[in-house]
Amino acid sequence: MSNERMILPKQMIQQETPFQDASGNPLWTGQYYNEGVDNDYFDKLKEECGVFGVFGHPEASALSFFGLHALQHRGEESAGICTSDGKNFYYHRNMGLVKEVFDNERLQYLQGSAAIGHVRYSTSGESKLQNAQPLVFKFRGGDIAIATNGNIVNAEEIRKELEDGGSIFQTTSDTEVVIHLIARSKQRDITLAVKEALQRIVGGFAFLILVNDKLFVAQDPNGLRPLSIGRLGEAYLFASETCAFETVGGTFERDLRPGELLIIDQSGMTEDRFAPMVQRSICAMEFIYFSRPDSDIDSLNLHLARKRMGRQLAMEAFVDADVVTGVPDSSISAAIGFAEQTGIPYELGMIKNRYTGRTFIQPSQELRERGVKMKLSAVRKVVEGKRVVMIDDSIVRGTTSLRIVNMLREAGAAEVHVRISSPPYKNPCFYGIDTPSRDGLIAANRTVEEIRIAINADSLHFLSKEGLLEAIGRPVGEVNRGMCTACFDNEYPTFVNDEATAGCGSC
């Protein structure tokens, strides 16, 4: 078997067999096919969670429904909305997509002009209803609800301290520690209690905290997780991504500042802080993959940023080919940029079917394999006999890349050259992105050449970190416009327990 091009038999893909080089030495011992198609075929990073908030609008629940629908890509496991009429809370949450959880009857029940909503992908805490957000509690000050995107790095330590002091937790979500900190605060003023609680926690987070007559909005001191402010008439809007404002007819005002605490009540919005900005470190993967291409971060449109990543990748790793195609949907913008820079035609070489459902429930291996092909298929007339450049945004475990490369070969591609619009993903995230342990990341202990062989590509190149920063326009060391690139370079902006091996997140 030649190192230059391995045609892997189907049984190697289907078993837990490690990839091997030409001499039979294992290249990577990661697990490949024992967790079902959904968990294994699309081994992409999970899109954390999304939050949406409204204050001062009579149709707060309906706006939240549409806002959450725009953020559905950030979490497809559960959805919830909590509203307040100034005196009472009304809330509903359940497992499933936004359109499955809410209907007209439920939305009409959610009365009030203030609301917070959440879509969830669980990365810490079990996947069950009790962990669905917003979390809603009663305490001495009345009702309180919280919705979060991110992860509290020191949650386990705080939770143990609180439990030793008599606190009884209702969920396994690390978001709940914030509620307990607020409830146990000796501060009688709710604003001071919220500030005190936020000062105890470390990590990357964006919070919406609703009490009967106030809404608190906060972002971590490093600005790791995105959160923006919008307006709709006199009402205030808050969302994980700006695309949600467009959906509800609102307008973008500004991004939240790291360490900022906003207090919104009937008198308007008060700008405060619970911590100074340490170093702006917004997650690089928001630019590369997570956020919708029609969203903006720091006034930078993500579709255009991803096109520049593709252009930069073409300048760093040109290859003579016949066609460029992107893995749908997140890599299409970068693929267009690569094609424009090289002059190689961009074609729709792969089609993603969004209506296949959860194929892992199929009763046999053969049917599961059919389920995989139902989710993503190659356009044979586009790739047959062609030298194909396949653009993707990242390689996590390598399983997806292997199957896509083989799928293109089965469709008749003469060559498959893989170009990745981000640097090698080598380190787990501790700020709310679900990643495998370092041992589960194929780039953590393997060279680019070893990865190329493992995914059966004719060539493989990753965008350099310098090229990524250039494309996004985030100079290294610029305090107000910095990024977290820890997944690429192991330089975490906060203290983390780097011995932890699992992905983490409060959602």
Catalytic site positions: 49
Nearest to 151 by CA among 466, 446, 433: 433
Q: How far apart are CA 210 and CA 89, in angstroms?
A: 9
Q: Which of 323, 289, 317 is nearest to 394 (CA)?
A: 289
Q: Tell me the one-letter amino acid at 138.
A: K
Residue 76 near residue 434 (C-beta atoms within 8 A): no
**Which backbone phi and psi does 87 adopt, to 5 degrees?**
-125, -40
Q: State the burial class of residue 90 (Cβ atoms within 10 Å of its Cβ: 0-12, 13-18, 19+).
A: middle
For the beta carbon of residue 204, count every other beta carbon within 10 angstroms: 31
Provide CB contacts within 8 A for 426, sequence distance 6+.
438, 441, 443, 444, 487, 488, 490
The rounded distance, in Å, linking the Cα atoms of 89 and 377 is: 47
Question: Both tokens of residue 187?
Answer: 């501060």
DSSP state of 48: -
In angstroms, the CA 206 to CA 197 distance is 14
CA distance 327 to 396: 14
C-alpha distances in Å from residue 183, one per residue of 64, 150, 154, 180, 485: 27, 21, 18, 5, 35
**DSSP β-bridge partners for residue 208:** 147, 217
Name which of 165, 61, 67 is nearest 112 in CA terms: 61
CA distance 428 to 219: 22
The CA-to-CA distance between both ends of the chain, in Å, stands at 45
Q: How many CA atoms lie within 13 A of 154 on its CB side?
A: 13
Ramachandran area for residue 268 (φ above 0: left; ψ -120 to 50: alpha; else beta): left
Cα Rg of the chain (Å, integer): 23
Question: Can you tell me the distance from the alpha carbon of 62 to that of 76, in angstroms, rounded to the nearest whole number?
Answer: 19
C-alpha distances in Å from residue 419, one per residue of 119, 172, 173: 32, 39, 37
List strands edge to edge, sheet with 251-255: 89-95, 78-84, 114-120, 50-55, 235-239, 228-232, 251-255
Q: Report d(CA 305, CA 35) in Å as an integer.
A: 34
